[in-house]
Amino acid sequence: MASAFAPGNISCVFKIIPHTDPARMHSLGMGFTVKDGVKVTVSLADSTIVLFNGQEINFPTVQAVINQLNPNSDSGIRVDITTSLPLGCGFGLSGAASLASAYAINSLFELDITNQELAMITHIAEVENRTGLGDVCSQFHGGCLVKLKEGAPLVADKLPISDQPIYYKYFGPIHTSEVLRNPEQTVRINNAADTALATLKQLTNTKTDSELFTSCFAVSKQFSVDSGLLSDERVIHTIKQIEKSGGVASMIMLGNGVFSTKAFEGATETQLSHKPARLI
């Protein structure tokens, strides 16, 4: 038996970088990891089974990692995934569950694969299953990150933003695969992301640490509008209410949810955390 943890990730801005090679397809953008995440425990079993909070689940990205790493195809692996975060609502749980599974399987079978190699295996599984493009990079590093280098899925720069409370509320899922398959939506997202990334580059050179995170929220909010992703009336109303009370807020990418640095009605508290995925 072996266990690992991977943090949830909130994406604030993302640009889709397409490529025929899944190892080179990824996203640019900005986001941060939180203290809440996914714990995965793996053990030997007669046949492979994946459980999500105790319920059997079809989890293609996790299964792809199992298929890649299981040294004995005749034996099964039991994968127990537990989390307090909602699936499909923009917390990168597909990446987190798959990366933690990779770390735990590597430990269980003493495969001696580096964490970076495991992260790339997981990233490829995400791309091939259309469940994410940039979460694994963030979860591999931990912290508040900006990604500006094309063709390098695991390269990111850490922003000097300290651990601090984050408040969120989710209303329902957005299916990443549907967004990635929509060419018109992709064009609009990438055009909005180009503007946002240019602004982020300027901010990191001119803003003080205390101003930077607040400014990043504003960039994220504008990106959600310009990209056309901010369309759920509940999300729009909640952001407006937070802003009226003097807070800053934006839409979780990709999910019909809101995150803010200020507590608001119905919100759950978590915390920005710099701790990356790891064995436990």
pTM: 0.93
Q: How confident is the model at residue 183 (pLDDT cuts 50, 70, 90)?
A: confident
Quick: pLDDT tens for 248-277. 999 998 888 999 999 999 999 999 999 999
Quick: pLDDT tens for 18-31. 999 999 999 999 99
Instruction: Mark out the alpha helices in the chain (DSSP H runs).
Output: 60-69, 93-108, 115-129, 135-141, 176-180, 183-206, 209-226, 233-244
Taking 80 as the threshold, does the pLDDT of residue 85 lie above it?
A: yes
Q: Which of 85-94, 198-207, 269-278 has the highest mean pLDDT?
A: 269-278
Taking 90 as the threshold, does the pLDDT of residue 44 lie above it?
A: yes
99 contacts 139 by C-beta, under 8 angstroms: yes
Quick: pLDDT tens for 138-170. 999 999 999 999 999 999 999 989 899 999 999
Measured CA angle at 98 (ends 148, 259), to 5 deg? 55
Residue 102 is predicted with a pLDDT of 98
Q: 206: Cβ–Cβ under 8 A, 6 or more apart, which residues?
A: none
What DSSP string describes 112-145? ---HHHHHHHHHHHHHHHTS-SSHHHHHHH-SEE
CA dist list (Å): 116 to 56, 99, 139, 241? 29, 10, 11, 41
What is the C-alpha radius of gyration for the chain, rounded to an integer number of angstroms?
18
Strand partners, 24: none
Residue 207 is predicted with a pLDDT of 61
b/e code 94-126 from CB counts within 10 Å (16+ = b)? bbbbbbbbbbbbbbbbeeebebeebbbbbbbbb
Label residue 54 exposed, middle or buried (CB < 10 Å: 0-12, 13-18, 19+): exposed
Q: How many CA atoms lie within 13 A of 230 on its CB side?
A: 22
Share of the chain above pLDDT 70, in %: 98
**Out of 47-61, 95-109, 193-207, 220-234, least confident range:** 193-207
Residue 210 is predicted with a pLDDT of 65
Q: Say how far apart CA 121 and CA 109 lie, in whole Å.
A: 16
Taking 80 as the threshold, does the pLDDT of residue 196 lie above it?
A: yes
Residue 40 is predicted with a pLDDT of 98
Average pLDDT over every residue of 52-56: 97
Residue 177 is predicted with a pLDDT of 72
174 contacts 185 by C-beta, under 8 angstroms: no
Quick: pLDDT tens for 108-145. 999 999 999 999 999 999 999 989 899 999 999 999 99
Q: What is the CATH number of domain 1-280?
A: 3.30.230.120
